[in-house]
Structure 1
Amino acid sequence: MRLLALFIALALPASVLAQGKSEPVRIDTGSDLLWKKLEARVAETADRIDGVMGVAILDLTDGRILLHNADRVFPTASSIKIAILLELYRQDQEAHSGAKEKSQLDDNYTFDPKDLVEDSRIMAGLTPGVTRVTNRDLAQFMVAVSDNAAANILIDRVGKDNVNAMLHGLGLSKTMLRRKMIDIAAARRGDENVATPQEMARLLEAIYKGKALSKQATAEFIKQLSTKKGSYIPRYLPESVQVANKPGELEAVRTDSGIVFCSETAICDKRHDRLRPQ
């Protein structure tokens, strides 16, 4: 059986964020009729899918939310890397405020081949003991091509427990980083990285509204997460639309999470997809 989870949140336009306004500005995101059509389309899609679909669509301009299996726990696949990235930025922010023993974006890492795991497309091409990159570079590899070795190194550097403590501090009790990427033994034990659609939407909301990072760090975080990548959310969107997202994929699972900024509205989306095998 394939599992599909679609997490979406609507936010402010990119232009408002760029202007640095601290308070949301009310923007007409569409009529109640359009919202009802959206609800009907989600319900229709859920009925048609041979599997399970979870959806959370949050409009951050007026608080409306569309939920379908939104409190059900799903595997996150690589969408959990949003939380890893957030903890890196949070620690970098704390380090610049004087905190000790925190990972920083500009900390260096020298490539060690023992850190390689499956699906490490960039890291596999580095020269052992010679190539030096920063945590910011590792984060870029993780975001742009979902490089798993880069993600695992960052997990070691920021700490899995710190990622989970950060999530818990944001009120997200069901979103958990339980294992590194490609840890087959942990996966067999059932130690899967998980979240609910609603909690992923709330995580994205917290990031967007500056509840997790400073104004400057939030802007930098969103810029990095907006790196163009192969993913599901922007598939039918114009090239000009900014999408800050992180997709993921496991066997029979597809996920995507992010914020989509358009001229009048920003949309935050997380998608998981798992279909029944033929």
Structure 2
Amino acid sequence: MSEPARDDASRGYRDHPRSKPGPGSITRRLRRHRPHYLTAAAVAFALVVAGVSAGVQSGAPVDSAAAAATPSGTAAASPLTAVPASPAPAASGAGRAASPKATPPPATAAAPKAGKVPAAVAPAAAHKPAKVPAAAARKPAAVPAAAAVAAPAISPELDGQIGAIIAANSAYALGVSLIDLSDGVVHGYGVQGNFVAASTAKILAASAYYHLVETGRASLAAPMGGTTAGDQIRQMVQQSNNNSWALILSAVGYWGIAAYAASIGITYDCTVNLLTPEEMARTLELLYAGRLLSARHTAQLLSYMQNTNFETLIPPAVPPGIEVFHKYGLLYGNLHDASILVKGSRAFVFVVYTRGLSESDMGPRTRIIQKLTRTVTGALF
């Protein structure tokens, strides 16, 4: 940006009476300096002509609006001005919704490692750019750097594939939510209204009790149901024990679970147990990002979401090398699976809620869930 003109009067500069020109002085000065002025003007004109000619020969586009909006008439500061990246689609399929970008997780914890109970779970690694191979790094770019901005992982092509599977199985109510933890945007497909959450809501109950522990109002070592509260949480999540769920809900209380859900942006009544696919996905996103619980309790709860007593929905359709943390739900006509899928620095929340006539059509809906899983993992990993 050009420097603003100085106001010499503000600096106390004054004209001295003796400095004022006498009669005819201006005319004499102009006559004396006219050749210099003409020479300078000619040089300036030649430089302008040369600059315009060079710009035309190079084919460089001139964007007067962008130049006016940026300092000193330079190119726009954002690289996306020169080469616009493909924006994430605002809507795709029935019920598609994009939510505001989530706050990045704290960088003090790392994503869980395969085959081990994660020691600290805030997936800072999920927000780090993938490493570029050395050979690729040495290769000169064929396009401007702005064009090398990675396209969104959840692409319009994947949107269309998910939508097509849902449309082909319209005999069932199907709701899918997908979140890339690197940007926190919720991609919703199919039915996005309330479902009976069944046992997927046990993650919310577990988180609410851990929160009581962290605020000094409860203890995992407290006696509960012939064992401890901590063991009841394990049974509730890993074995989907409904008696354990009832004990944990009783300890948290009706208003306690409602208040806890409201604190993370969810309206929840445990007497009817309704959640949307997006609300379940948001809960898992916050959990994995370390924004619900301490690192220790997050790691413990995630460990209970592996090797559960019902691994027949999302897990068998996930390719080797991808970690799965999940909680299924099965109640009458409701068949759900809510998962976190992790490989290296990539992490996604993937939730599928389904509603059919009864448990008699669990087979077809299981195959739909697995087809969606293969489609999603094939596109994202």
**TM-score, normalized by the shorter chain, greater than 0.5:** yes
Alignment-mate amino acid for residue 200 of structure 2: S
- SS of equivalent residue, structure 1 residue 146: coil
Matches of 1:27 and 1:240 in 2, distance apart? 19
2:293 is the counterpart of 1:178? no
- List per-residue Cα deviations over 1:226-276 (Å, max 9, x = no partner): 343314221212466432211111111101113122234223233222224
User: Whole-Å Cα distance in 1 between the matches of residues 260 and 280 of structure 2?
Assistant: 14
Structure 1 distance, partners of 2:244, 2:332, is 21
Q: Counterpart in 1 of 2:242?
A: 148
1:259 equivalent to 2:333? Answer no
Letter in 2 for 1:106: A
Partner in structure 1 of residue 27 of structure 2: none
Matches within 5 A, 1:83-102: 83-95=204-216, 102=217
Q: Return the alpha-carbon distance in structure 1 between the equivalents of residues 122 and 294 of structure 2.
A: 13
Shift of 1:157: 1.2
The structure whose residues are more often helix, as a share, is 2
Amino acid of the residue matched to residue 166 of structure 1? Answer: Y
Query: Are residues 21 and 209 of structure 1, via their aligned partners in 2, closer, same or farther at CA, if it must alter by over 3 Å?
Result: closer
Which gives a bigger RCO, structure 1 or 2 (Cα 8 Å, sep 6+)?
Answer: 1
Q: State percent identity of aligned pairs.
A: 22
Aligned CA distance change for structure 1 residues 238 and 105 (closer, same or farther; 3 Å): farther
Q: CA deviation at 1:26?
A: 3.0
Provide the rounded CA distance (Å) in 2 between the counterparts of 1:34 and 1:70. 19
**8 Å Cα contact 2:175/2:354 also seen in 1:** no
Structure 1: runs of 5 or more not aligned: 6-10, 96-101, 111-131, 180-191
Secondary structure, counterpart of 2:292 in structure 1: coil
Code of the aligned partner of 1:269: F
* Mapped contact 2:119–2:295 kept (Cα < 8 A): no
- From the superposition, tell whether residues 195 and 228 of structure 1 become closer, same or farther in structure 2 (CA, over 3 Å): same
Tell me whether 1:36 sits opposite 2:161 in the alignment: no
Name the counterpart of 2:30: none
Q: Report if the CA contact (8 A) 1:201-1:268 is conserved.
A: yes
How far 1:80 moved relative to its partner? 0.7
Residue equivalent to 1:237: 318
Q: CA deviation at 1:220?
A: 2.2
TM-superposed CA distance for 1:193, in Å, is 0.7
What CA distance in whole angstroms lies between the structure 1 residues aligned with 2:187 and 2:342? 19
Residue 251 of structure 2 corresponds to 157
Deviation at 1:83, TM superposition (A): 0.5
Matched positions, count: 228
SS in 2 for 1:226: coil
Cα distance in 1 between the residues matched to 2:153 and 2:338? 26
Residues 58, 234 of structure 1: alpha-carbon distance in 2 compared, 3 angstrom cutoff: same
Quote the residue 1:199 is aligned against: 279
Gap regions ≥5 residues in structure 2: 1-94, 96-104, 131-149, 362-381
Counterpart mapping for 1:41-190 below 5 A: 41-49=161-169, 50-69=171-190, 71-95=192-216, 102-110=217-225, 132-173=226-267, 176-179=268-271
Q: Residue 224 of structure 1: CA displacement?
A: 2.5
Deviation of 1:71 after TM superposition, in Å, equals 3.8
1:14 pairs, out of 94, 104, 112, with 112
CA shift at 1:36, angstroms? 2.5
Distance 1:56 1:242 in 2: 18
| Structure 1 residues 136 and 237, CA gap change in structure 2 (3 angstroms) | same
Q: TM-score, normalised by structure 1?
A: 0.71
Return the offset for 1:40.
Answer: 1.4
Larger strand percent: 1
For 1:88 and 1:33, the matched residues in 2 are separated by 34
Aligned partner letter, 2:177:
A
Alignment deviations for residues 101-156 of structure 1 (CA, whole Å, 9 cap, x no partner):
x232111124xxxxxxxxxxxxxxxxxxxxx3111111111112211111101111
Contact 1:200–1:270, Cα closer than 8 Å, also in 2: yes
Indicate the SS of the match to 2:215.
helix
Shift of 1:15: 4.4
Deviations 1:30-65 (A, max 9, x none): 855872332112111111111221121111113343
Indicate yes or no: 2:292 matched with 1:212. yes
- Root-mean-square deviation (Å): 3.0
- Shift of the 166–19 alpha-carbon distance from structure 1 to 2, 3 Å rule, reads closer
The amino acid that maps onto 2:179 is L
Give the Cα separation in 2 of the matches to 1:243 and 1:26: 20
SS in structure 1 of the partner of residue 155 of structure 2: helix
How far the C-alpha of 1:198 sits from its partner, in A, is 1.3
